[in-house]
Amino acid sequence: MLFGILKEQDQRVSVTPELAKKFISEGHEVIYEKGAGESAFISDELYEGIGAKSKSREEVLSSSNVLITLDPLSKEDVAKLAEGTFLFSSFQPFQDASICEVYATKGISAFSFDMIPRTTIAQSMDILSSMASISGYKAVLKATDYLPRYMPMLSTAAGTVPPSKVLVMGAGVAGLQAIATAKRLGAQVEAFDTRAAAKEEVMSLGAKFVEVEGATDDTNAGGYAVEQTEEYKKRQAELIAQKVEKADVVITTAQLRGRPAPTLVTEEAVKTMKAGSVIVDLASSTGGNCALTKDKEVVREHGVTIIGNSNLAADISEQASVLYSKNIQNYMKLFLTKEGFDFDFNDEIILQSCIVYNGDVIYGNEEKQKQLVPPAKVEESVEA
């Protein structure tokens, strides 16, 4: 098979030379768009050195059997694809299912990394977690760029400097990494999450857990928050407002899968913060957790700097590319052979990540999903 590597819109690259070398060692070919890895500090020479060939973007699109990207291809790029191309990317069909229709053509098959079940067995393939961890780390560093105060407590000849207070909202992968990073920098850290399971993890990192009684908890939500009752939201808003008022830095990470992010920090709460404080909103792409957030912008409101960025992982482009590529390698171990792809749709990871197959929309179509599972194996699973 012929694997293609494209130059992405952000600084990362989806396939590093290490993974490309793996493909070639298994008997496949790799071509790449010139400069594909330069923003991640991966030169064309490194790709050439492992046997990949440089081509124009049009040639990569039109001749590749397999394309692995960070973001979905545009309609213009899709029009240039060969019949039966396999696409792997983060399509986010749960945000807008109509995206599947864009790829339901030319016998294309599309697999979405963000649809891989967030289970223990799939952890090594979990691109969402890999990128979230980097974002949580970078969020704290980004906050320090704008914060006009020290993070740690310092004793100096001129007096003692108190530590900054950091409030992390959402203790998933990104939140936990933000907590760990802020603690390493010497800040006083508090964290809030609606999930009861997060309390132990937060406390194990040395942070104080902010708890609101009566939260709806769903262990099957795949690491996402779930919608709460109006009564709970009222109590939550009151407690959060108290904590936000005292915080020097607020980092928000809470997202609802397939729905707008919950508003956790109101404009009224922002007004109570000390001048010079910073909010980093990692949920900005889905509306933001702060009422004043603007996606992909840094704004200052009521003396508070508000950073809206859901893609901070791209700022650490080299390491993000390495982790992304490693996740892909682990995922493709499930079905990549020397002869090509051998999909076993009895595997929940493969089945759930497939959103389009041979030009048919699979996502949200149970009937189509059932047709992908070999009849004999369906009978075996029923007997078991």
Same-domain check for residues 177 and 273: yes
| 116 and 92 within one domain | yes
Residue from 204, 182, 209 nearest 193 by CA:
209
Are 334 and 252 in a shared domain? Answer: no
Both 290 and 325 in one domain: the answer is: no
Candidates 126, 193, 248, 281; catalytic one: 126
Alpha-carbon distance of 100 to 25, in angstroms, equals 33
Instruction: Single out the catalytic residue among 123, 204, 242, 381.
Output: 123
Kindly tell me if the per-residue pLDDT of 217 is higher than 80.
Answer: no
- Same domain flag for 204 and 325: no
Highest mean pLDDT among 187-196, 227-236, 320-329: 320-329
Q: Can 126 be counted among the known catalytic residues?
A: yes
- At 378, is the pLDDT very low, low, confident or very high (cuts 50, 70, 90)? very low
User: What's the mean pLDDT in 319-345?
Assistant: 97
Count the neighbouring beta carbons within 10 Å of the beta carbon of residue 156.
Answer: 8
Whether 277 is catalytic is no
Give me the chain's average pLDDT, please. Answer: 93
Q: How many domains does the chain have?
A: 2
pLDDT tens profile 49-83: 999 999 999 999 999 999 999 999 999 999 999 99
Domain boundary among 310, 341, 357: 310
378, part of any domain? no
> Residue 237: what pLDDT?
85
> Final residue of a domain: which of 255, 284, 310?
310
Active-site residue among 39, 64, 129, 329?
129
CATH value at residue 144: 3.40.50.720
**Residue in 224, 324, 357, 363 annotated catalytic:** 224
| Residue 153: per-residue pLDDT | 95
Are 248 and 343 found together in one domain? Answer: no
- 118 and 133 share a domain? no
Annotated catalytic residue within 57, 118, 149, 235? 118
DSSP-derived 3-state class of residue 211: coil
For residue 104, being part of any structural domain is answered with yes
Choose among 192, 196, 145, 193: nearest CA to 166.
192
Quick count: other Cβ atoms within 10 Å of Cβ 1?
18
Least confident of 32-41, 109-118, 195-204, 210-219: 210-219
Query: Looking at residues 7-19, what average pLDDT do you find?
Result: 97
- Residue 296 falls inside a structural domain: yes
Same domain? 249 vs 337? no
pLDDT tens across 16-35, in order? Answer: 999 999 999 999 999 999 99
**What distance in Å separates the CA atoms of residue 220 and residue 303, rounded to the nearest whole number?**
40
- State yes or no: is 281 an active-site residue: no
Helices (H), 158-228: 173-184, 198-204
Judgement on whether residues 118 and 136 belong to the same structural domain of the protein = no
Domain end among 310, 345, 361: 310
In this model, does residue 209 exceed pLDDT 50? yes
Per-residue pLDDT at 230: 79
Q: How confident is the model at residue 328 (pLDDT cuts 50, 70, 90)?
A: very high
pLDDT in tens, 137-188: 999 999 999 999 999 999 999 999 999 999 999 999 999 999 999 999 999 9
Catalytic residue status for 224: yes
Structure confidence at residue 380 as a pLDDT band (50, 70, 90) = very low
301-322 pLDDT, tens digit per residue, is 999 999 999 999 999 999 999 9
* Residue 10 is among the residues annotated as catalytic for this protein: no
* Domain housing 323: 2-124+317-373
